[in-house]
Amino acid sequence: MPPSPAGWDARLHLEFERVDQRTVLATRTHVGPLRVQKALYPEGPEVCQAIIVHPPGGIVGGDTLAIDIGAGAGALAQITTPGAAKWYRSSGARATSRTTLRVSPGAFLEWLPQEVILFDGARASIALRIELQPGARCFGWEVTCLGRTASSERLTHGSLRQSLELHRDGAPLFCERAVIEGGSRALQSGAILGDAPVFGTMVAAGATVTNELLAECRAVLCDDGDGAITRLPDVLVGRYRGDSASAARTYFANLWRLLRPHLAGRDAVTPRIFST
């Protein structure tokens, strides 16, 4: 389907189900340039991995992306992406991405995308909503770069509206919203980003975080930048602020390795796509 003058309308719907001791990708539908090529089983049949591909390679003003993923009762599913999501400069139209993750009782869903890169002048709205039923578990992160940091670019123009919401049985557990204007003096404030171009948030829900586990998580250090851990009722929140998307992903991945055995009863197996 070619893009309309207003931009791409891209949608992806996935449903994972537990069949005996195997998790299967039971439903896979898409409209426009969002798709999953095949279900993967790098850990064996219990955990189904899907890599979401966006063939155009970038998001422009007017594009709308909608991702809806469900994990049925007892399913173990892991979602990744093959590379950074690039949001290009816009002459005025805003681009939008909405991701909804629905997790049923006894299911565990991992959301492990690579970073979002906002080119200078991008106008983006990005929303992630996680809906947990009783007994559901999840782990996820979002990493955002304000500008192409490898070339020392910053977000001097454009804007970002971003939200991350986590709900259990309809009740909010965690909600974070950000409105960032490119080049604003607020970005230099130590109370916000302290002039750091990269920030990220991690959430883990569904396992009891003991004082010992909390201490282990707080002992994880960042290679570059600052990391912090907050324990809230039924959710552990990690944050990163610094200059490096790679450092942010490494920090969150190290936390994931600590937390996954408590959330899923399984050791962490690094997705092969992270090494390509």
Query: Do residues 67 and 99 touch, judged by C-beta distance below 8 A?
Result: yes
Residues sharing a CB contact under 8 Å with residue 37, sequence separation 6 or more, in sequence order:
51, 53
- pTM for the predicted model, two decimal places: 0.95
Q: What is the pLDDT of residue 1?
A: 39
Q: Is residue 163 part of a domain?
A: yes
Q: What is the pLDDT of residue 150?
A: 86
Query: Do residues 107 and 136 touch, judged by C-beta distance below 8 A?
Result: yes
Determine which helix (DSSP H) or strand (DSSP E) holds 26, and give its type and residue range: strand 22-31
Rounded distance, CA 132 to CA 205, Å?
9
Residue found by looking up tokens 């992160």 in the block: 141
Q: Is residue 251 part of a domain?
A: no
Over residues 163-176, the mean pLDDT reads 96
Rounded distance, CA 51 to CA 82, Å?
7
The pairing of strands 47-53 and 159-168 is unpaired
For residue range 62-100, list pLDDT tens digits in order.
Answer: 999 999 999 999 999 999 999 999 999 998 899 999 999
Mean pLDDT of the chain: 94
Q: What is the pLDDT of residue 155?
A: 92
Mark 18-57 as b/e (b = at least 16 C-beta within 10 Å): beeeebbbbebebebbbbbeebbeebeeebbbbbbbbeee
Tell me the DSSP string of 28-93: EEEESS-EE---B-BTBTTEEEEEEE-TT-SB-TT-EEEEEEEE-TT-EEEEE-SSPEEE---SSP
Q: What is the pLDDT of residue 4?
A: 44
Rounded distance, CA 260 to CA 276, Å?
23
Q: List 99's β-bridge partners, or say none.
A: 67, 128
The total of structural domains in the chain comes to: 1
Residue 176, helix vs strand vs coil: strand
For residue range 227-255, list pLDDT tens digits in order.
Answer: 999 999 999 999 999 999 999 999 999 99
- Percent of the chain at pLDDT > 90 equals 86
Q: What is the pLDDT of residue 275?
A: 77
**Residue 13's pLDDT band (cuts 50, 70, 90):** very high
Q: Is residue 109 part of a domain?
A: yes
Residue 211's Cβ-count burial label (10 Å; 0-12, 13-18, 19+) is exposed
Question: Residue 255: what are its φ and ψ, rounded to 5°?
Answer: -65, -40
Q: What is the pLDDT of residue 56?
A: 86
Query: Do residues 113 and 81 touch, judged by C-beta distance below 8 A?
Result: yes
DSSP state of 273: G
Q: Is residue 4 part of a domain?
A: no
pLDDT at 5 over 80: no
Domain of residue 128 covers 9-194
Over residues 254-269, the mean pLDDT reads 96
Rounded distance, CA 12 to CA 113, Å?
15
CA atoms within 13 A on the CB side of 126: 23
Q: Is residue 201 part of a domain?
A: no
**Residue 2's pLDDT band (cuts 50, 70, 90):** very low
53-62, 77-86, 167-176: least confident range: 53-62
pLDDT at 265 over 70: yes
The pairing of strands 171-181 and 159-168 is antiparallel
Rounded distance, CA 244 to CA 59, Å?
21
Q: What is the pLDDT of residue 3?
A: 43
For residue range 19-36, list pLDDT tens digits in order.
Answer: 999 999 999 999 999 999
Q: Is residue 136 part of a domain?
A: yes
Q: Is residue 211 part of a domain?
A: no
Rounded distance, CA 21 to CA 17, Å?
10
Q: What is the pLDDT of residue 192?
A: 82
Q: Is residue 207 part of a domain?
A: no
**Residue 6's pLDDT band (cuts 50, 70, 90):** low
